[in-house]
């Protein structure tokens, strides 16, 4: 397959100024007529080559001339015309088959509704087009369909006309005044219910808000609607950015490859990120809804008003928008908890990706299939890069830079350089060296050492960026290290640095090795480094367990308090691995007990401090991980804390358990999370009364969060209570697809002994649907990512199962197949036996006939 390279970027030969689309939607096929007004790009060739995918060409008109198809250069994948004039209108009719479209890109049907997904290159499955983000056009869209089956016809922009047609058909016309690339085009046609609300902007414009869902779900939209209004208000208050059209619409569909899509004025969502009430959704589902609704809404500026010049710039919109949605959630809820969650995601997926064969820079240089680059590196590391600019420049300069960026590039397709330049011009700072963060892959390792003499503290830092595929020669990066020091009394020490006295300072660490000197220390303090996770790095500082307990107790940065707990857990596990008779010392147990007993600490911070690093993250830190040993020591730690703090955990559980009341607020959510962590540690002991406690929580729960907490614990229990609980859950919820996804997912991640056979049964279950991404994620991705015990079983059958399904799914949805194939890419991290078994499956996939380029790219890079 062809490799697309950033260095080959060229402007198109023509611009598409106006696009008029007519969709004639039918039950067997649909006809799409596009009339596009093109304008020659001076200095470029006069050949126009349009992209297509699986298209049937019906007719082509150049202005008024009906072109003879037999004499034309076209295929299902392209259409090319030569010697064209300066301006002309090209009218093309294509025939497409949305009902047969299982890739869920372009126009397809989900549960009886027509809907679209055009990012990144789905529009070419609708009509021949300059399907690239730098071609921005004004769209006018006419939709014609049966009036009874499809009473609702939606597209981007504002509705401008509607009328009835013969044969019970009707049509609706939409006009979007904002020029946009084809990837932001959307269409929906179906019989949908609608929840309506209104938002008044800061300039007093009234915006109509509409959420369209299947009628039986109308009672599950309130939370999402509130999130829309909160997002609109937040973007006005934080960045002065106002919504621009008169209507903002969201449609929820059940077959969707990712979370949601920011189409101009018509966001389309995976129903998982819209539908919720306390009976059906967990606290983490609610959090997900708020952040995804925010994310898509914020794209209206960061992505839509200013878009990307080419797909190598993807992080320009995605990194910035993730940063914006993270800040929105932090402002709406607890900032500390949000930061802990975001870093956990980063470590569990981006750090893992960055240390494997798919490692790539935030701005990649090449790709085979762009769908494979909607990665955690582009999204989450991209957001961390924006966050570091914010930390280095400070809030005011950063906001000025954002103003400059949007003012300068409104209506344009921009690059990452444009963004950095706007930040530099507004702050007066140079970000030249900083831009290495965009171009170099890999997670920097920072080693820190501290010495104390004569009232002074010297902090010596060294950075090293590991080699990654295709990049061996690395430059030192600019790393902001937010630093404080604590005295034995638990207080932050005021120190003198560069003429100022303060208790916290952002060090700019931009050389391979550097020393920082601080004054004002009568005694050697304990450093608190990279506070709030000020940079996406691995930080190595040799803390003693005693110092970690101190920071876990006293640090006033929520993240670093959690971090101390994580480091303590890793240090304890390491000691146990080195000496199998090692047991937890009293100081450690006392620290955990006092953490649980604290009257002032946020229950969610307590809960996070008592949850330990994931197996995947622990594996990613090793050269050749012994997964059994990791699994065993992690279980030992949970079990030891469970046994030694049994009473304290039991008490904390009961104090958090407000049986009769349910509140979806900070207190309620905090209590439920702490309760869940306590229950998990209690069950780690295997004691009968802890199993009885989970069984009782399951039986009496009045909300989905508690139900899932209990069912998750019972899922690992090797006795009939597991089966009973799953049966009663299924009987109660079999009508609700999203809830049944949870039922599948919990069984796939169960640690019981026969899980592989069980997963195979789930794949044969009447409710399993290979064409529905949520279901595939619930069973197969969950097994591969959240069940290291089952997936990495030494017999290799877990790998074989995933490979079987990669090959099966690749025939219908290559995007989902590639995502699944990626679970095998980390093979180098494991022992020789597992390596061989994973490689054998990767090779089997690679050798298969008719492999998509999506899967080919993942497996061939994994094997390199
Ligand atoms: N910008 C969107 C990215 C996307 C996508 C969404 C749904 C289905 C397929 C997709 N391919 C790419 C989502 C976002 O980041 O907001
Ligand atoms: Zn996005």
Q: How far apart are CA 35 and CA 37, in angstroms?
A: 7
**What is the structure's pLDDT at 590?**
96
pLDDT higher than threshold 90 for residue 621: no
Alpha helices, DSSP H only, in 348-495?
Answer: 352-354, 376, 382-393, 395-409, 416-427, 436-439
Cα 104 to ligand 2 centroid, rounded to whole Å:
18
**CB under 6 Å to ligand 1: residues?**
117, 119-120, 256-258, 260-262, 295-296, 299, 318, 374
Fold category of 215-300 in CATH = Zincin-like (3.30.2010)
Q: What atom of ligand 1 comes closest to residue 379's alpha carbon?
A: 15
Nearest-CA residue for ligand 1 atom 7 is: 258
CATH of domain 4-191: 2.60.40.1730
pLDDT higher than threshold 80 for residue 649: yes
Region 339-360 average pLDDT: 96
Q: How far apart are CA 844 and CA 847, in angstroms?
A: 5
pLDDT higher than threshold 90 for residue 495: yes
**What is the structure's pLDDT at 610?**
95
Question: In the chain, which segments carry CATH 2.60.40.1730?
Answer: 4-191
Neighbours of 58 (CB within 10 A): 13
Measured distance between the N- and C-terminal CA atoms of the chain, rounded to whole angstroms: 16
Check if the beta carbon of residue 364 is closer than 8 Å to that of residue 312.
yes
Q: Which two tokens stand for residue 235?
A: 């973007």
Question: In the chain, which segments carry CATH 2.60.40.1840?
Answer: 445-535
**What is the structure's pLDDT at 616?**
82
Question: In the chain, which segments carry CATH 1.10.390.10?
Answer: 307-439
pLDDT higher than threshold 80 for residue 371: yes
Region 197-209 average pLDDT: 98
**What is the structure's pLDDT at 320?**
99
Region 363-375 average pLDDT: 97
**What is the structure's pLDDT at 617?**
85
* ipTM of this predicted structure: 0.97
Q: Which two tokens stand for residue 291?
A: 């952040």
Confidence of residue 660 (pLDDT cuts 50, 70, 90): confident
Active site residues: 296
Check if the beta carbon of residue 107 is closer than 8 Å to that of residue 96.
yes
Confidence of residue 327 (pLDDT cuts 50, 70, 90): very high
**What is the structure's pLDDT at 273?**
98
**What is the structure's pLDDT at 262?**
98
Architecture label for domain 445-535: Sandwich (2.60)
Q: Provide the 3-class DSSP secondary structure of residue 838.
A: helix
Residues 6 or more apart whose CB falls under 8 angstroms from that of 551 comprise 486, 526, 528, 543, 560, 561, 563, 564
Cα 302 to ligand 2 centroid, rounded to whole Å:
9
Q: Which two tokens stand for residue 254?
A: 């059940």
Question: In the chain, which segments carry CATH 3.30.2010.30?
Answer: 215-300
Cα 380 to ligand 2 centroid, rounded to whole Å:
11
Write the pLDDT tens digit of every residue in 57-100.
999 999 999 999 999 999 999 999 999 999 999 999 999 999 99
pLDDT higher than threshold 80 for residue 21: yes
Which residues of 166-298 form beta strands (DSSP E)? 169-180, 187-190, 193-200, 206-213, 247-253, 260-261, 266-270
pLDDT higher than threshold 80 for residue 659: no
Q: What is the mean pLDDT of the chain?
A: 97
Neighbours of 191 (CB within 10 A): 13
**What is the structure's pLDDT at 460?**
98
Write the pLDDT tens digit of every residue in 117-138.
999 999 999 999 999 999 999 9
Q: What atom of ligand 1 comes closest to residue 270's alpha carbon?
A: 7
Region 46-62 average pLDDT: 98
Which ligand does the CA of 258 lie closest to? 1
**What is the structure's pLDDT at 700?**
94
Confidence of residue 13 (pLDDT cuts 50, 70, 90): very high
Percent of the chain whose predicted confidence (pLDDT) is above 70: 100
Q: Which of 106, 116, 119 to mutate to test the pocket of ligand 1 (most atoms within 8 A of CB)?
A: 119
Q: Provide the 3-class DSSP secondary structure of residue 200.
A: strand
Write the pLDDT tens digit of every residue in 537-577.
999 999 999 999 999 999 999 999 999 999 999 999 999 99
Nearest-CA residue for ligand 1 atom 4 is: 119
Which ligand does the CA of 133 lie closest to? 1
- Indicate the pairing of strand 366-367 with strand 113-117: unpaired
Q: Which two tokens stand for residue 715?
A: 């899922």
**What is the structure's pLDDT at 713?**
97
Which class is 307-439 in CATH?
Answer: mainly alpha
**What is the structure's pLDDT at 676?**
98
């Amino acid at each position: 397959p062809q490799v697309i390279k950033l260095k080959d970027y060229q402007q198109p030969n023509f611009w598409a100024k106006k696009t008029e689309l007519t969709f004639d939607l039918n039950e067997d096929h649909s006809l799409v007529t596009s009339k596009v007004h093109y304008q020659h790009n001076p200095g470029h060739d006069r050949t126009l080559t349009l992209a297509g995918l699986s298209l049937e060409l019906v007719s082509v008109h150049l202005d008024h001339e009906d072109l003879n198809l037999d004499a034309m250069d076209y295929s299902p994948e392209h259409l090319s015309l030569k010697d064209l004039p300066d301006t002309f209108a090209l009218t093309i009719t294509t025939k497409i088959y949305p009902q047969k479209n299982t890739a869920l890109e372009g126009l397809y049907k989900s549960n009886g509704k027509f809907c679209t997904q055009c990012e990144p290159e789905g529009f070419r499955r609708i009509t021949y087009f300059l399907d690239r983000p730098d071609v921005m056009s004004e769209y006018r869209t006419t939709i014609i369909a049966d009036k009874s089956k499809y009473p609702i016809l939606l597209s981007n922009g504002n509705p401008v006309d509607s009328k009835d047609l013969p044969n019970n058909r009707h049509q609706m016309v939409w006009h979007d005044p904002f020029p946009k690339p084809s990837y932001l085009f959307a269409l929906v046609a179906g019989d949908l219910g609608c929840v309506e609300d209104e938002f008044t902007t800061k300039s007093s414009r009234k915006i109509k808000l509409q959420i369209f869902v299947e009628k039986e779900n109308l009672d599950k939209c309130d939370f999402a609607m509130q999130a829309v209004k909160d997002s609109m208000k937040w973007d006005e208050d934080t960045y002065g950015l106002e919504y621009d059209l008169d209507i903002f619409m969201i449609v929820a569909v059940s077959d969707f490859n990712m979370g949601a899509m920011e189409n101009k004025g018509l966001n389309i969502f995976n129903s998982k990120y819209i539908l919720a009430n306390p009976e059906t959704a967990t606290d983490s589902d609610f959090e997900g809804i708020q952040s995804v609704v925010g994310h898509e809404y914020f794209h209206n500026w960061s992505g839509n008003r200013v878009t990307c010049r080419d797909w190598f710039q993807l992080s320009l919109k995605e990194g910035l928008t993730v940063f914006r949605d993270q800040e929105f959630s932090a402002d709406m809820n607890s900032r500390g908890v949000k930061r802990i969650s975001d870093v956990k995601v980063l470590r569990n997926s981006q750090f893992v990706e960055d240390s494997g064969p798919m490692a790539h820079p935030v701005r990649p240089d090449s790709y085979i299939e762009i769908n494979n680059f909607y990665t955690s590196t582009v999204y989450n590391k991209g957001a961390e890069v924006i966050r570091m600019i914010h930390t280095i420049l400070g809030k005011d300069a950063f906001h000025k830079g954002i103003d400059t960026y949007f003012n300068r590039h409104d209506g344009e397709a921009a690059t990452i350089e444009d963004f950095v330049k706007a930040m530099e011009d507004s702050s007066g700072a140079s970000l030249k060296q900083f831009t290495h963060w965009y171009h170099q892959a890999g997670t920097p390792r920072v080693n820190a050492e501290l010495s104390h003499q004569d009232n002074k503290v010297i902090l010596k830092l060294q950075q090293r960026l590991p080699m990654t595929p295709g990049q061996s020669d690395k430059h030192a990066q600019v790393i902001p290290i937010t630093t404080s020091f604590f005295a034995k009394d638990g207080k932050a020490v005021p120190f003198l640095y560069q003429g100022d006295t303060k208790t916290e300072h952002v060090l700019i660490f931009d050389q391979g090795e550097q020393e920082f000197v601080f004054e004002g220390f009568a005694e050697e303090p304990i450093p608190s480094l990279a506070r709030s996770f000020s940079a996406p790095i691995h930080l190595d500082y040799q803390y003693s367990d005693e110092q970690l307990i101190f920071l876990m107790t006293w640090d006033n940065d929520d993240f670093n308090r959690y971090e101390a707990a994580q480091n303590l857990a890793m240090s304890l596990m390491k000691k146990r691995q080195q000496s199998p008779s090692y047991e937890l010392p009293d100081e450690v147990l006392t620290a955990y007990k006092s953490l649980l007993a604290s009257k002032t600490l946020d229950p969610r911070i307590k809960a996070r401090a008592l949850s330990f690093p994931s197996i995947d993250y622990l594996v990613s830190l090793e050269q050749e991980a012994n997964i059994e040993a990791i699994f065993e020591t992690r279980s030992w730690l949970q079990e030891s804390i469970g046994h030694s703090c049994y009473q304290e955990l039991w008490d904390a559980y009961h104090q958090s358990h407000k049986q009769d009341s349910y509140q979806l607020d900070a207190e309620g959510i905090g209590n439920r999370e702490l309760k869940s962590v306590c229950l998990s540690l209690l069950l780690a002991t295997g004691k009968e009364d802890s199993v009885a406690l989970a069984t009782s929580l399951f039986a009496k729960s009045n909300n989905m969060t508690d139900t899932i907490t209990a069912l998750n614990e019972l899922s690992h229990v090797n006795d009939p209570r597991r089966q009973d609980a799953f049966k009663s859950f299924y009987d109660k919820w079999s009508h609700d697809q999203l809830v049944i996804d949870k039922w599948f997912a919990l069984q796939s991640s169960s640690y019981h002994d026969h899980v592989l056979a069980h997963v195979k049964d789930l794949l044969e279950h009447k409710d399993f649907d290979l064409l529905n991404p949520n279901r595939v994620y619930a069973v197969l991705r969950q097994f591969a990512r959240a069940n290291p015990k089952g997936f990495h079983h030494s017999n290799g059958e877990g790998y074989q199962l995933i490979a079987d399904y990669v090959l099966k799914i690749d025939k219908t949805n290559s995007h989902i197949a590639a995502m699944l194939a990626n679970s095998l890419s980390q093979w180098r991290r494991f022992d020789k036996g597992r390596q061989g078994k994973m490689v054998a499956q990767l090779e089997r996939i690679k050798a298969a006939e008719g492999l998509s380029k999506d899967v080919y790219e993942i497996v061939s890079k994994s094997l390199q």
